[in-house]
Structure 1
Amino acid sequence: MSSAESSIVQFANVGLRYGTDREVLSDISFTLYPGRFYFLTGASGAGKTSMLKLLYLAQRPSRGMIWMFGNDVITLPRKAMPDFRRRIGVVFQDFRLVQHLSAFDNVALPLRISGMSEGQIRKPVADVLEWVGLQHRMDARPQTLSGGEQQRVAIARAVIARPEVLVADEPTGNVDPEMALKLLRLFEALNRLGTTVVVATHDVNLLRKVPDSLIMRLDKGALSDPTGALRYPPRREVMKG
């Protein structure tokens, strides 16, 4: 496609069904550009989680085409998939922390899986825990942390490898409004560093908290873009260099 070089993600006429059921996503087409902040919204059952699974490569579409980082991921060899997934950070609604590991070890997990040595791991993990305000809790296990603290550990783990795209599924759904705003500010800070951020939420109050954000709305598996998110050009300052 002509805009593939300047985009980071493209969906073209994507459909998704589970088994023989009707499609949960139909004719989904959009383009995500580097360094933008996107909200994906819609009622419960609209298909937000299914669309995020396609974005972080946990699910293949039933039809249509998906390009990421200039590559057709539908035909991508299986052996190339791990490298692609490392370029995408994911924050799950239910945190998915490893309960017997400390906050430090949960955040360090992606780096250890990638083969980094313990000497290389300590400083970046300590730095990102400080960034999310948990430097004093790095030895704590998840069951001793509050919901907001667990979510911040999950965010730290998602961004420790400096992903090009961050996908967050209802990241504020289990915290109070004050903590929700703090989490949103962390996503904004990451976005300012150049990461493309996609936050799925049903909380319409959050949509006004990020002035430069773009909104994609799902309704019964179909996508609309009230702020022009599907066709918005890249920010000039992000594209330099």
Structure 2
Amino acid sequence: MSATSGEVVAFDNVGLRYGPDREVLSDVSFTLYPGSFYFLTGASGAGKTSLLKLLYLAQRPSRGAIRMFGTDLITLPRKKLPAYRRRIGVVFQDFRLVPHLTVFDNVALPLRLSGVPEVDLEKPVADMLEWVGLAHRGDSKPATLSGGEQQRVAIARAVIGRPDVLVADEPTGNVDPDMALKLLRLFEALNRLGTTVVVATHDVHLLRKVPESLIMRLDRGRLSDPTGALRYPPRRQTTSGPAS
């Protein structure tokens, strides 16, 4: 982790508006620390997705400051953003798998885009599919998978590059409670490797499933701190998780 101050991400009085409308995020300040697990919660329309877009660099704020991995992103030239995006894994609620690619090729896609030679793809992709319980589905197309299987493929694709930060937008919204718990355990395993995890959810039952998690709550674009998430220091990490 290259952030010299012990932080991964820091927002300082960030505001976001779309066009002339009122701000969808107002005066948002928080720090994410290495190896911590965060839930971002709030009612529909509270601004969760907008905040996540700022986190995975799909959107720039209207005002305020954002630091990531020790770098001021507000002044960073746009041509340098892709290098930072590659350090962030994103799991979308609607999966966003490439329909004409197999499961194997969907998971391999980030490695191919980063220039990993074909000869070096087989083992890490196979290991990742084994980790998410889909080793037998590598040759399948997304349309033949269940919702839970598609979500696990999306998670595998998001984490194949061992990101410093994993951002998940309502990842359990399209699956049953048993599968939701399984997905959550995958996030926990990655978190134990040292990845900072941020899961946006409206499901209050999930919040109790990860005892060491921290909660950030959005209400009409403003952030509150029910568990001390905004000032929580890094916790001890372990080294169990997916195979290298």
Q: Same fold (TM over 0.5)?
A: yes
Partner of 2:158: 158
* Counterpart in the other structure of 2:90: 90
* CA–CA distance in structure 2, aligned partners of residues 237 and 223 of structure 1: 27
Distance 1:116 1:94 in 2: 27
Unaligned ranges ≥5, structure 1:
none
Q: Aligned-residue CA RMSD in angstroms?
A: 1.1
Q: CA deviation at 1:177?
A: 0.2
1:182 aligns with 2:189: no
Q: Report what 1:42 is aligned to.
A: 42
Matches within 5 A, 1:130-169: 130-169=130-169
TM-superposed deviation, 1:234: 1.4
Task: Give unpaired runs (5+ residues) of structure 2.
Answer: 239-244
Structure 1 letter corresponding to 2:172: T
Q: Is structure 2 residue 233 aligned with structure 1 residue 227? A: no
* Partner SS, residue 231 of structure 2: coil
* Offset, 1:153: 0.2
Report the CA distance between 1:4 and its aligned residue. Answer: 6.2
2:15 corresponds in structure 1 to 15
Local SS of the residue matching 1:124: helix
| Structure 2 letter corresponding to 1:190 | L
Structure 1 segments of 4 or more deviating over 4 A? none
**1:49-60 correspondence runs (5 A):** 49-60=49-60
Aligned partner of 2:210 in structure 1 is: 210
TM-score w.r.t. length of structure 1: 0.96
Once the two structures are TM-superposed, the CA of residue 140 in structure 1 deviates from its matched residue by: 0.4
Provide the rounded CA distance (Å) in 2 between the counterparts of 1:162 and 1:4. 20
Separation in structure 1 between the aligned mates of residue 137 and residue 22 of structure 2, nearest angstrom? 46
**1:4–1:61 distance in 2 versus 1, CA, 3 Å:** farther
SS at match of 1:31: strand
Output the CA distance in 1 between the equivalents of 2:139 and 2:68.
36
**How far off is 1:8 after superposition?**
0.5
Number of positions where the alignment pairs a residue of Structure 1 with one of Structure 2: 236
Correspondence for 2:242: none
CA distance in 2, matches of 1:121, 1:61: 36
Is the 1:4–1:10 contact (alpha carbons within 8 Å) kept by the matching residues of 2?
A: no
Q: How far has the Cα of 1:190 moved from its partner?
A: 0.3
